[in-house]
Amino acid sequence: MHNTDPAMPILAISGSSGFVGNALCCELLVRGYAVRRIVRRVKESPRSSPLTKVEGEVKGEGVPVGDIGSDTNWSNVLEKVDCVVHLAARVHVLKDTARDPLNEFRRTNTAATEHLARCAAQAGVRRLVFMSTINVSGTKTTGAPFTESDPAHPGNSYGISKWEAEKALAHVANETGLETVILRSPLIYGPDAKGKFPMLIKAIVHHTPLPLASINNRRSLLYLGNAVDALVLAATHPIAAGKTFFLSDGQDVSTPELIRQLAAEMGVPARLLHCPPFLLRTMGRLLGKADSVSGLIDSLQIDSSAIRRELGWAPPYSLEQGLRATAQWYRNQR
């Protein structure tokens, strides 16, 4: 049974039809929370989550607000809302065709976030949880993992726009008293994922030779189920107010190790070839894929001990469980 008490605080989720947002909405419903799904258009229908099966409650339409920007009308969304979880964003894309990518990132990720926060404060919303990115800290680590005490050093337009959004939220919080919680995450993987992760699985399944056997890096990842669990905690834990927390599965892995584990879960051999990293970087620059190559061969480690220590968070899924669930989902799509 789900709590349908009309007096119960409502959690509004932007980006509710997306990879993380849909899973979060379903998990919140299972836990008995009242959920208001924010969508851009009515046609964005809810669906069940591969993590959590919800019957009935995912049916129906969310509240449409149109395109997310500095003039979005949030009036129909924020009434009686206790907390907004802001997931809607313009994400880093492999082939960005925008004439001015940074301006587009700022329009959606920075200006829209600040506008939402001010509207939320005016509407009496108590808290806003903002899903940021570890790219605010940087795109790679060369020694110790990133921690919350490290200075921001965004390495791309996406990271810059998210960092500027974080600073804007701090201003709004100081001016209005709105509680803000910021979560910085690495690559989130899991069932229904889009982008680089399923592309990697596809390459493995098709026995594509991958010249990554010589890579000796460490990467932090975040499984979808762990991301959702941390978001629920950030939205509800009283101590989280005003804090920034870094998230990860807590089990860093090298790129070759990741490929071997995914190949084992898919029941195929890992076709890893040796190639000097400097040659891979050179080829990446020549082919215009320097960022993609860096994401495969550089280290990017995150220390997520603060949220574990301060909020008592423990990721409910291990890296192995996350990879197994992702591989099972991929097999089911074929």
* Cβ neighbours of residue 255 closer than 8 Å, sequence gap 6 or more: 212, 215, 217, 219, 296, 297
Per-residue exposure over 4-39, b if at least 16 CB sit within 10 Å of its own CB, e if not: eeeeeebbbbbbbbbbbbbbbbbbbbeeebbbbbbb
pLDDT tens digits, 178-188: 999 999 999 99
What's the mean pLDDT in 220-241?
A: 97
- 96 and 108 Cβ atoms separated by less than 8 Å: no
Domains in the chain (CATH in brackets) are 10-193+222-249+301-316 (3.40.50.720)
Residue among 108, 246, 242 at smallest CA distance from 186: 246
For 106-122, letters b (16+ CB in 10 Å) and e give bbbbbbbbbbbbbbbbe
Q: CB of 92 within 8 A of CB of 105?
A: no
**Cα Rg for the chain, rounded, in angstroms?**
20
Residue 210: DSSP 8-state: B
pLDDT (tens digit per residue) in 7-19: 567 999 999 999 9
- Residues marked active site are found at 158
Region label for 194, one of left (φ > 0), alpha (ψ between -120 and 50) or beta (otherwise): beta
What pLDDT, in 10s, does the model give residues 262-302?
Answer: 999 999 999 999 999 999 999 999 999 998 999 999 999 99
Quote the percentage of the chain above a pLDDT of 90: 80
- Residue of 290, 273, 292, 291 lying closest to 282 (CA atoms): 290
Q: What CA–CA distances, in Å, run from 245 to 124, 140, 155?
A: 24, 18, 19
Helix (H, G, I), strand (E, B) or coil at 260: helix
pTM of this structure:
0.92
- Give the distance between the most distant pair of CA atoms in the chain: 61
